[in-house]
A and B are shown apart, each in its own frame.
Chain A
Amino acid sequence: MTAPLIHMELKSDPRVLSGVREMVSAVARRLAFDRPTADQIALAVDEALANVICHGYERRPVHPIWISIHEMKSDQPAIKIIIEDEAPPVDCDQIKGRDLADIRPGGLGVHIIKEVMDDAIYEKRGDVGMRLTMTRTGNRQSDQSSASPQKDPP
């Protein structure tokens, strides 16, 4: 894998989320994603970080989270984002979005991530921590992009 365009360490403080969203959306647009797609990618990152903060670190704001952004080789805009933490590892099979017919607060984050990204793969980082690797390809900035279907909404 090529070196990341960006690799940064965050604290697990929800106040960082707005800045990270802006950064991710800006980078995605620089990689030629159109604005709606860049915003969706930023939403997926926001949801992933919120899950780490809320569930992994139980809202304690002092723990590290690492985010790496890679440009992938493709004739379309293509991005890979890796989010890693040091939270207690969980069974990857248990990480799934809730049944949308069961309307209740919470449980939407994983569903949103899987809906807006092409791939979202959770894995354990050895003895400690989790890694989420997300990719998204397509929806270039151009006159044609507005005519091509977005990945969502459904």
Chain B
Amino acid sequence: MQILKNKFIRFCADVLILAALFTLVQYFITTGLLNQYYQINLASMCINIILSVSLSLINGFTGQLSLGHAGFMAVGAYASVILTQMLGQPFIAGIFAACLAAGVCGFIIGVPTLRLKGDYLAIATLAFGEIIRVTLQNIDYVNGPAGVLGITKLTTWPWLFAAAVITTLVVVNLINSSYGRAIISVREDEVASELMGINTTKYKVIAFVIGAMFAGLAGAMYAHFFYIIKPETFNFLKSFDILVMVVLGGLGSTSGAIIAAIFITALTAALQSFPAIRMILYALILIIVMIYRPQGLMGNKELSRQTFGRIWSGRKNEHNRN
């Protein structure tokens, strides 16, 4: 009973914190304190969070190196745009279509390729991502390489916030469920988990499809915020960008993925003022962080209430000792 009560209190606290965060930002936007520049970067941040959290489910928790995440994002972006712009459906239908289309693609790609291991899987997913891009380039219905221009801006802060929160919640809850334990066991030792009676292929595919669905969601958000989508945006370099966030945050850490997504977006924005050397600095930061912290910012730890609590109590103890 006590445990249940504690859980309930924690749940309420979480809801309150999120609601406060949402309202605060919404307040800043309506009052104009957060100008367009910050709003754009905020949107990038949320989209990057969705991408990196969903990829961290595949790469970090399931241990399957995928380099085709941008491909799923492309599928989602195009599916939603076809629905909202060409068929005149509401945004919510576009979002569902995006998740569905990306999920189906994830399934079709995942079932055969997830038998592959390590670098072979990486190159196969990379190849699939590129195939998606080349195919889109040759579809005249969506204007081929020119892409779709003039997409109505439907992605607003409430949508972005909800999408990021739902993605995180689904991934975190999945990891903490029995499915999640099976998924992590696949990462730790595939043969051993198979011997324990876990259908490893099934769990790999589940993680892959869910990851792909959220990449599709990110694609839908992206398309309806940035006015234009074209196949070139979703090339393999975009997949690398997402992978960088996941690894920088720490494989197997959702909070790490979120922190890294925020960090990378802010870093990109901050480096805008140095056009000549921005990419050099970016590359150097990447190398230096990896050399000094190869397990990523968070390792496989999570930043949670307990961590804050521990840091807090640790500080207090030190204080007492002094």
- Do A and B come together as binding partners? no
